[in-house]
Amino acid sequence: MSSRFCHCSFLHLLIGLFIFGSTSAISAHENEDPTIKTMEAFSGYPIHESNSLISDFVSSLSVETQTLQNQIDELSTFSDSPAPSVTRILYSEKDVLARRYIKNLMGLAGLSVREDAVGNIFGRWIGDEPELPPVATGSHIDAIPYSGKYDGVIGVLGAIEAINVLKRSGFKPKRSLEVIMFTSEEPTRFGISCLGSRLLAGIETLANNLKSTVDGQNISFLDAARSAGYANDQDDLSSVFLKKGSYSAFIELHIEQGPILEEEGISIGVVTAIAAPASITVDFEGNGGHAGAALMPTRNDAGLAAAELALAVEKHVLESGSIDTVGTVGILELHPGAINSIPSRSHLEIDTRDIDEKRRNTVIEKTHQSATTIANKRRVKLSEFKIINQDPPALSDKLIIEAAEAASKELNLTYKKMISRAYHDSLFMARISPMGMIFIPCYKGYSHKPEEFSSREDITNGVKVLALALAKLSLN
């Protein structure tokens, strides 16, 4: 038997063991398969001494919870707002320091690190068959103003720890395993969510638009990227694009950001789909004027138009009749912003989402109609109604769902299948790779605020499920 043949039969057997669970493991052992010795040599499992490969391997997975918590705490200090809040905006000084911290941890975990032109950071553990598409995991570390320290961070620091868990257990991956820290999942600075993962997914319009995109201070995207050490010598960001099939699987660990797991006392959420988000910006213009002298019938108040549109968004969302339709006016700015001046300009940013894309699009259409009607009625100009993004939902891949479920079962953790109402980089990774997500509970479902919290036990569970799922997927 050639060694190549040995490897193949071993791999198939091991994949079977992992995907189909411990029954196969026991029967394989009982049959005294001669490839078992090779299996041990290849993967690091002490299986010939064990009655159950899976239970031995699973019990060998140990998370260094205190170290991980220290890292989470330390990363949270790279913030532009005081603790317990975290504010870490793309390409800011604190973001650059936090990136350095992540690259250092990747290096300490023995990963080979690379960065692309917008600062997506990749740390790869080379597998035994490096020519195969790797399995990837990861999330983001940017944080919206005055938010918490777990959103995204768990999926980056937790992923590096999952690699360490597998290394300590003696596991050797067949497919390479890659941790990705995505650039700017949050839209704070340039108004574009999941900027890094959208580019990885090859969205050309975004790559083109970014050449002329500026932030609120009129700093261009490219200048900001360069100040952080990226996009040097290139305006063309198409180098960031990845081909479809670059990864055999992508799986993201994240806090739930909703209350379901905690309320139901369930340890793990296995995500089956990610809701479809859209963002819209709206501008109204009126004449402004003196808050005392201009009489009410003569006014065309851009601020009141914005207020009326904000209420219309709520109305249209509620008209859907589904609890899954949501809408938020998270930004409402008035110009000139003086108590004794009638607003002459108003600017709204509207976020609306649904697991049903058609229903979400209906909210957008109705909101547009309302904006036009309100502008006419109040004699203001609707100077902009711009759909920034109108993304379709993404479905998780069956094999990745199964890997996360099997991992939860083998770890004796309760789990439930659920949808993600928040968006994630996974939404875009799904365009180039089979995708899945693992959720852990968070306190009262709080997120995007300083009270965001996940217990050490829940984080440890999530990291173990991720490690085991990565192991399974790497052998696939």
Query: 276: helix, coil or strand?
Result: strand
Shortest distance (Å) from residue 422 CB to ligand GLV:
3
**Complex with Mn ion: residue 194 or 471, whichever CB lies closer:** 194
The answer to whether 419 and 356 have CB atoms below 8 angstroms apart is no
Shortest distance (Å) from residue 389 CB to ligand GLV:
12
Q: Are strands 341-342 and 249-255 parallel, antiparallel or unpaired?
A: unpaired
**Complex with ligand GLV: residue 242 or 422, whichever CB lies closer:** 422
Output the DSSP codes for 403-421: HHHHHHHHTT--EEEEEES
| Tokens found for residue 3 | 């060694």
**Complex with ligand GLV: residue 375 or 430, whichever CB lies closer:** 430
Nearest to 340 by CA among 390, 293, 287, 386: 293
Distance of CA 101 to the CA centre of its chain: 19
Nearest-5° Cα angle at 279, 137 to 234 = 60
Query: 289: helix, coil or strand?
Result: strand
Site string for ligand GLV, 160-199 (x = CB under 6 A): --------------------------x-------------
- The packing angle between helices 65-76 and 153-169, to 10°, is 150
> Which amino acid is it at 346?
S
d(CA 273, CA 282): 29
**Complex with Mn ion: residue 152 or 196, whichever CB lies closer:** 152
d(CA 363, CA 319): 9
What, of Mn ion, ligand GLV, none, does residue 423 touch, CB below 5 to 8 Å by kind?
ligand GLV
CB atoms within 10 A of CB 327: 24
**Complex with ligand GLV: residue 140 or 345, whichever CB lies closer:** 140
Shortest distance (Å) from residue 259 CB to ligand GLV:
15
**Complex with ligand GLV: residue 186 or 301, whichever CB lies closer:** 186
The answer to whether 429 and 435 have CB atoms below 8 angstroms apart is yes
What, of Mn ion, ligand GLV, none, does residue 397 touch, CB below 5 to 8 Å by kind?
none
Backbone angles phi, psi at 18, to 5 degrees: -70, -45
**Complex with Mn ion: residue 188 or 408, whichever CB lies closer:** 188
Shortest distance (Å) from residue 84 CB to Mn ion:
16
What, of Mn ion, ligand GLV, none, does residue 252 touch, CB below 5 to 8 Å by kind?
none
Question: Which residue's CB comes closest to ligand GLV?
Answer: 422
What, of ligand GLV, Mn ion, none, does residue 178 touch, CB below 5 to 8 Å by kind?
none
Please report where in the chains the tokens 């949270």 appear, as a residue.
Answer: 76
Shortest distance (Å) from residue 449 CB to Mn ion:
11
The C-alpha R_g of the chain, in whole angstroms, comes to 25
Shortest distance (Å) from residue 353 CB to ligand GLV:
8
**Complex with ligand GLV: residue 22 or 420, whichever CB lies closer:** 420
Please report where in the chains the tokens 């290394």 appear, as a residue.
Answer: 167
Please report where in the chains the tokens 């257990």 appear, as a residue.
Answer: 169
Shortest distance (Å) from residue 155 CB to ligand GLV:
12
d(CA 77, CA 100): 13
Shortest distance (Å) from residue 152 CB to Mn ion:
4
Shortest distance (Å) from residue 151 CB to Mn ion:
4
d(CA 8, CA 366): 57
Site string for Mn ion, 122-161 (x = CB under 5 A): -----------------------------xx---------
Considering the rule CB under 5 A, would residue 301 count as an interface residue with Mn ion?
no
CB atoms within 10 A of CB 439: 30
**Complex with ligand GLV: residue 92 or 257, whichever CB lies closer:** 257
Site for ligand GLV in 395-454 (CB under 6 A): 422-423
Binding site for ligand GLV (CB under 6 A): 186, 422-423
Binding site for Mn ion (CB under 5 A): 151-152
